[in-house]
Chain A
Amino acid sequence: MKRDIDKDLKTTPMTMIQALRSAMDVMLGRDDDVVIYGQDVGYFGGVFRVTDGLQAKYGKHRCFDAPISEGGIVGTAVGMAAYGLRPVVEIQFADYFYPATDQIVSEAARLRYRSAGDFTAPLTIRMPCGGGIYGGQTHSQSPEAFFTHVCGLRTVMPSNPYDAKGLLIAAIENDDPVIFLEPKRLYNGPFDGHHDRPVVSWSKHPKGEVPDGYYTVPLDKAAVFREGADLTVLTYGTMVWVSEAAAQETGIDAEIIDLRTLWPLDLETVVASVQKTGRCVVVHEATRTSGFGAELAALVQEHCFYHLEAPIERVTGWDTPYPHAQEWAYFPGPDRVGAAFKRAMEA
């Protein structure tokens, strides 16, 4: 049972945490079938405070804590979804999703297909991801490639509060299972890779203006984050801001495409941009080999081969576990991204 669309679009400055909380608040209010649970998300409000206050407002049956068992959290969520609810569960760190792989891949992603539509799994799994917070190898991973490889799953990663709220609402309303990856480093403000500079807050940023009520940002639609003519950057999450910094610092007029939904991919926007600029740089935090960037590069060469003036560049994390002390040697910062821009221009 869903109420009509809230008319007022009054906006208030929000961090990505507040925007995500607002999204869940709106959906808990609009749809009685929405249920939120995970480790520490009930009474305490989540280790990143994303679900703070929701249990107090909607009661223990709509927002509650769960045992430390990612397999159990996702397994019960599949059962609930089969019943008809819309569970929104949290895996505290994306690095901990591995025990839930069987329930995500063999069950949630395959339910509709194997039952020919008899049963479906309209659930959303939120996972804080990415580095830049000295989290070490088990609090900094970006596992998107595991999910984009699974047919039946939608994989989404917002890069700012406005998109975060709109995409999360769209994800909850979507009838397919959605993996919703939230870059931790962007929770409080945009991050361009210059870790030595003071943290900028979302409050002073246009993308921090978030409407209070209900609205959605469409899934499967990429955004042209920055218009440009010299080369096309295909990226998502924190790397959107790092790429913007690299463009400013190198003076190269880069067109930055923020994918927002990684799969199914908005290929049309990608191809149009690369055919326009003729050069392509793919940027992501995750490790290089078999990363999602490899798929992007493959698609670009398939669809834009005769327009390419230079080899496709990829700027990624190194093929090592995510280090702790050497955070900034690992994290692909604006210098490495800028160097790739130059290589693409000179080829």
Chain B
Amino acid sequence: MSQSQPLSLHVPEPTGRPGCKTDFSYLDIHAAGSTPRPPVDVHYQETAELAAGMIRVLDDDGNAVGPWDPGLDRDTLRFGLRTMMKTRIFDARMVIAQRQKKLSFYMTCLGEEAIGTAHALALRDGDMCFPTYRQQSLLMAREYPLVDMVCQLLSNEADPLKGRQLPVMYSVKAKGFFTISGNLATQIPQAVGWAMASAIKGDTKIASGWIGDGATAESDFHTGLTFAHVYQAPVILNVVNNQWAISTFQAIAGGESVSFASRGVGAGIASLRVDGNDFLAVYAASCWAAERARSNLGPTLIEWVTYRAGPHSTSDDPSRYRPADEWTYFPLGDPIGRLRRHLVARGWWSDAEHDALQAELEAEVVAAQKEAERHGTLIDGRVPSAASMFEDVYKDMPDHLRRQRQQLGV
């Protein structure tokens, strides 16, 4: 070899930056209906192409095409649309509340509403989800009362979590929604463990673990894949690839030239890569994975390709690191818009009905917020008494905590 060139470090960059239009070709989008649907007992290696491709049902004109079309009835689709719209309206309303300082913090899931909604419809009651802070649509789909959610956001006296958790960090065992942790990816091995327990007890319930593209870099994600494969745990592992982890493009998390789904195949797990903004595709893929798990055929890894249309949180402004209008030309479009077009195409929906539903949901959210505020907000100080701070550290309060509460004097 001749005198070798000097080495240089490759640091991945997104194609789009503020003032420079994004080239989304890296998404490698396949035509709707072009991906075959293998039987659920397929050998994981057969899913290698699915893990690199992209399952899509709704084409650009809003028609459902291809083998993955779940053939959903009118009512389920209309419920799906309603849930997605309710999520989006709730998010928008809560951001305003945060700006008015009624909440200290909030995180929206703008643009990703289809994934949680459709997935929840594919699961059964009793299945346990291990969500991140961007899967509030799971709770919306399972119709958890908005008032309870707002009370948690306000940390007021009716907050089920007694004011202890950052807003959006819900915990609702009754709705199969595991308590959200601020630490990333910790819930993945926990989901696998829960699934293993279900298997040990000969139960029929399965688990569904969630993680963002950025957090897949955590060791807990890979540990989860290993344990899921080793014990063939009845679990669905969902990677929501919404392109951005705060200001870090998904390539920095390892998504450049290889899909996150392919990691599953590498770990011996059946894996799918799906258009996350396609309600029907999300539902179909979720059913496939749930059936596989419930038939003792082991875990499935699904990469949901979508776009984080809003900021990371109320403390973030994406226009600083990506083109402000990037969402307008994101190839997979808006999940609500696409499902609406499909419903209209099938004569099951109209613009008038849409506007009426929009107004109805807005009223429902405003009413829930007003009722929650009656129990107090962070501003007016009607938060759970500091005395409750000493409970639930242990099951029974040890004496050193009783003495410390005496010193505090509440």
Contacts and interface: CB of A to CB of B under 8 A. Distances in A.
B365 interface: no
Given A35-B200, A76-B196, A80-B193, A117 B392 contact: yes
Interface in B162-210: 162, 164-165, 169, 171-173, 178-179, 181-183, 186, 188-201, 207
B10 interface: no
A110 B128 CA distance: 19
A294 to B, nearest CB: 16
A79 B164 contact: no
A61 B195 CA distance: 13
B183 A80 contact: no
B186 A114 contact: no
A75 B188 CA distance: 8
B164 to A, nearest CB: 6
A77 interface: yes
B353 interface: no
Tell which of A35, A61, A72, A175 has the most Cβ of chain B within 10 Å: A72
Given A76-B192, A176-B394, A69 B223 contact: yes
Tell which of B162, B196, B219 has the most Cβ of chain A within 10 Å: B196
A336 to B, nearest CB: 30
Contact of B399 (A112, A119, A151, A264): A264
B400 interface: yes
A269 B123 CA distance: 54
A26 interface: no
Contacts of B173: 115, 118-119
B24 interface: no
Contact of A61 (B193, B200, B224): B200
A116 B392 contact: yes
Interface in A149-187: 151-152, 154, 174-176
A39 interface: no
B44 interface: no
Contacts of A118: 160-161, 171-173, 179
A72 B179 contact: no
Interface stretch (A90-98, A99-107, A189-197, A226-234): A99-107
Contacts of A265: 400
Given A67-B226, A115-B179, A264-B398, A75 B392 contact: no
Contacts of A80: 193-194, 196-197, 200
Contacts, number: 145
Contact of A75 (B161, B193, B399): B193
Interface string B211-224: 00000000110011
A79 B398 contact: no
B393 interface: yes
| Interface size of B as a range | 35 or more
Given A79-B193, A113-B393, A102 B183 contact: yes
A112 B200 contact: no
A35 B194 CA distance: 13
A254 interface: no
A14 to B, nearest CB: 29
A80 B196 CA distance: 7
Interface stretch (A81-89, A210-218, A282-290, A320-328): A81-89
A111 interface: yes
Nearest to A151: B393
A156 to B, nearest CB: 13
Nearest to A64: B231
A87 to B, nearest CB: 8
Nearest to A83: B197
Given A80-B194, A107-B186, A264 B200 contact: no
B321 interface: no
| Interface size of A as a range | 35 or more
A93 B22 CA distance: 51
Nearest to B163: A116
A178 to B, nearest CB: 11
B190 A76 contact: yes
Interface string A120-158: 100000000000000000000000000000011010000
A110 B166 CA distance: 14
B192 A85 contact: no
A112 B392 contact: yes
Nearest to B400: A264
B395 interface: yes
Contacts of A16: none
Interface in B101-153: 128, 130
B330 interface: no
A84 B203 CA distance: 12
B386 interface: no
B230 interface: yes
B349 interface: no
B161 A115 contact: yes
A78 interface: yes
A46 interface: no
B190 A78 contact: yes
Contact of B181 (A32, A106, A176): A106
Contacts of A268: 399
B178 A103 contact: no
B327 interface: no
A267 B196 contact: no
A116 B164 contact: yes
A43 B188 CA distance: 27
B194 A82 contact: yes
A72 B178 contact: no
B171 A119 contact: yes
A253 B365 CA distance: 73
A347 to B, nearest CB: 29
Interface of B: 128, 130, 160-162, 164-165, 169, 171-173, 178-179, 181-183, 186, 188-201, 207, 219-220, 223-224, 226-227, 230, 392-395, 398-400
Given A79-B193, A154-B394, 10 more contacts: A69-B226, A75-B193, A76-B196, A83-B201, A84-B197, A85-B201, A107-B183, A116-B161, A118-B172, A119-B179
7 contacts: A66-B227, A69-B227, A79-B193, A80-B194, A82-B194, A107-B183, A119-B173
Q: What are the nearest 9 A-B pairs in CB distance?
A: A79-B193, A75-B189, A76-B193, A264-B398, A79-B190, A72-B223, A83-B197, A79-B194, A115-B171
